[in-house]
Chains A and B, each alone.
Chain A
Amino acid sequence: MSNVKEQWGSRIGVIMAVAGSAVGLGNFLRFPGKAAENGGGAFMIPYFVALLLVGIPLCWAEWAMGRYGGRHGFNSAPGIFSVLWKHPLSKYLGALALLIPMTVYFYYIVVEAWCLGYAWNYLTGNLMMGKNPGAYTDFFTTFTGSAADASLFSGTIQQSLIFIAITFVVNFLVVYRGLSGGIEKFCNIAIPMMAICAMCVLIRVLTLPANPENPEQNVINGLGFMWNPDLSVLRKPETWLAAAGQIFFTLSVGFGVIINYASYVKPKKDIALSGLTATSVNEFFEVCLGGTITIPAAFIFLGATTLATFTSSSFSLGFKALPNVFAEMPGGQVFGFLWFFMLFLAAITSSLSMLQPVMAFFEEGLGLKRKGSTLLMFLITLLGSGFVMYYSKDLAGLDSIDFWSGELFIVVLALVQAIIYGWVFGTKLGQEELDSGAELRIPRFVQFVIKFVSPAFLIWILYSMLTSKNDAGTLKMVEKLKDPIQLAGFCIVMGSLLFLWVMVYFAGQRWKKEGRA
């Protein structure tokens, strides 16, 4: 069995950490854009259906598998999978749950640094450039280096590199302090702080006066832009796909994080209520705050026509459109700072959760101490993030890794987990695991949903992704591999998978010797 194991310090701590992992930039930027684009209020019908049929059941499945694995001495997905499915291949499937957080971290840390950089530039007043949309686009292009490759490394030290260095150091300092002493303590402070910042911005947005140049551009019509339903979209499969995709993205399902975090829950402690609470906290940030801040604020100052051009891209909405809003809003400098600082907190609680699963594997699979696993992870992510920072033209490096890891493999891993839970581990054992110490009775039909409905839903999503001919579809991304940077991004993801498989092989040998697998 394992050595002295880390555990969560408190029940609230694990809920905050899982909620922190789930609440990210997507809650405030991706969700409102997706909803506005896909039928407004009508989008919430497939959204809630996907939440109930796939999101919450799969979260519970991950919590159950994680705690079961933890009880059997494993915290990393390869180890947990080898306990759930006693087959030599199972631990290699578990490597997917290391690949996704590790490679997503490569670019997520860069975006996180943008948020910190923007917050700083609001604090110092540099981003208060008046009504000048071009200026904010130029600022974004310079700050992110998206005009040309290697532009962040040419000439003097670029400001964004300093913020990337700061975010790297803060992430690794927190994670080095361990699960309970680092991540849990940080999330316990960051989540309430994030809620306070969001509430301040929400109150400001809801009390904004109408645009004096065009009184039709007021907060009520802004809410209407976001929520007025177009029920005809419900007949389109793309709407359902977008809603299901959003649920995956927002809940961190199939990300490899929940299964790792749940493995540190003490045996016989509740996971049913904790899992649902973490999910509901994430939904609060997404629907109640994300759904009422971003779009109405942008609508008042930009109007429907201009706003519609920004909703398809989270980065455009967040980093190009909203600075225009803060420039005209009374107290815009303060609210701009609060907004981007809140986004930074949302991002860092997510990025911390991406480090822990892989470091847990390095520790239990390769026998490294915390210092060694931190150093190894630091070097790997520095290389990966270096690629994203260097190939910054049109954010191509970021886009490539985001698609293969952050979109496609997430669905693959969620499907693998649903099949292992429903068909290998078994719903009977799963229900027993969820019921053990439960403070919430989970209805039996949830097991049926996980066994039959969720995999079917996931297969449909995967099929749609693989056959989609739109710009974000797999066919288009395969075509894009002709571009050397897109190909390099793909190779980095596949190379990381190969590296992890080799590590998993050595870990398997080690566990065999120890009589653990």
Chain B
Amino acid sequence: MTTAGWIFMIVSVLSVLSLVVYCVSKVLFYAPKD
């Protein structure tokens, strides 16, 4: 695995992870309950 490969993988996975963590935590902990 090349350095560029690592960079592309880590950036892609972290971008998606941060989006999902942001959204799910906002839904679960910050949004008004149903």
Contact = CB atoms under 8 A, between A and B. Distances in A.
B20 A41 contact: no
A123 interface: no
Contacts of B17: 284, 288
A40 B34 CA distance: 42
Given A40-B8, A277-B24, A288 B31 contact: no
A10 B34 contact: yes
Nearest to B9: A227
A42 interface: yes
A311 to B, nearest CB: 16
A228 B1 CA distance: 6
A223 B4 CA distance: 12
A15 interface: yes
A227 B8 contact: yes
A10 B31 CA distance: 13
A223 B9 CA distance: 8
Contacts of B19: 276, 280, 283
Interface string B1-33: 110111111001101110110111011001110
Given A274-B27, A277-B23, A287 B12 contact: yes
Contacts, number: 87
A228 B26 contact: no
B12 A220 contact: no
A137 interface: no
A238 to B, nearest CB: 19
A223 B1 contact: yes
A436 interface: no
A31 to B, nearest CB: 11
Contact of B20 (A273, A284, A291): A284
A44 B12 contact: yes
A229 interface: yes
A: contact size bracket: 20 to 34
Contact of A287 (B6, B16, B26, B31): B16
B31 A11 contact: yes
Interface in A265-291: 269-270, 273-274, 276-277, 280-281, 283-284, 287-288, 291
A12 B16 contact: no
Most buried by A among B6, B15, B16, B24: B16
A229 B8 contact: yes
A225 to B, nearest CB: 9
B13 to A, nearest CB: 5
A15 B34 CA distance: 13
B9 A41 contact: yes
A40 B5 contact: yes
A241 to B, nearest CB: 20
Interface in A1-46: 10-12, 15, 40-42, 44
B6 to A, nearest CB: 8
B24 A228 contact: no
A178 interface: no
Contact of A12 (B12, B15, B26, B27): B27
A439 B25 CA distance: 12
A41 B5 CA distance: 6
Contacts of A274: 27
B27 A277 contact: yes
Contacts of B8: 40-42, 44, 227-229
Contacts of A270: 31
B13 A287 contact: yes
Given A10-B34, A224-B5, A228-B1, A273 B13 contact: no
A273 B16 contact: no
B1 A220 contact: yes
Contacts of A287: 12-13, 16
Given A223-B5, A224-B1, A439 B26 contact: yes
A220 B15 CA distance: 21
A48 interface: yes
A276 B16 contact: no
**Residue from the set A41, A221, A224, A229 with the largest chain B CB neighbour count within 10 Å:** A41
A280 B1 contact: no
B1 A273 contact: no
B31 A280 contact: no
21 contacts: A10-B34, A11-B31, A11-B34, A15-B27, A41-B12, A42-B8, A220-B1, A223-B1, A223-B5, A227-B8, A228-B5, A229-B8, A269-B34, A274-B27, A277-B20, A277-B26, A277-B27, A280-B16, A280-B24, A283-B19, A287-B16
Interface of B: 1-2, 4-9, 12-13, 15-17, 19-20, 22-24, 26-27, 30-32, 34
10 pairs of A and B residues whose beta carbons are closest in the complex: A41-B8, A224-B1, A228-B5, A277-B23, A227-B9, A280-B20, A227-B5, A280-B19, A284-B20, A287-B16
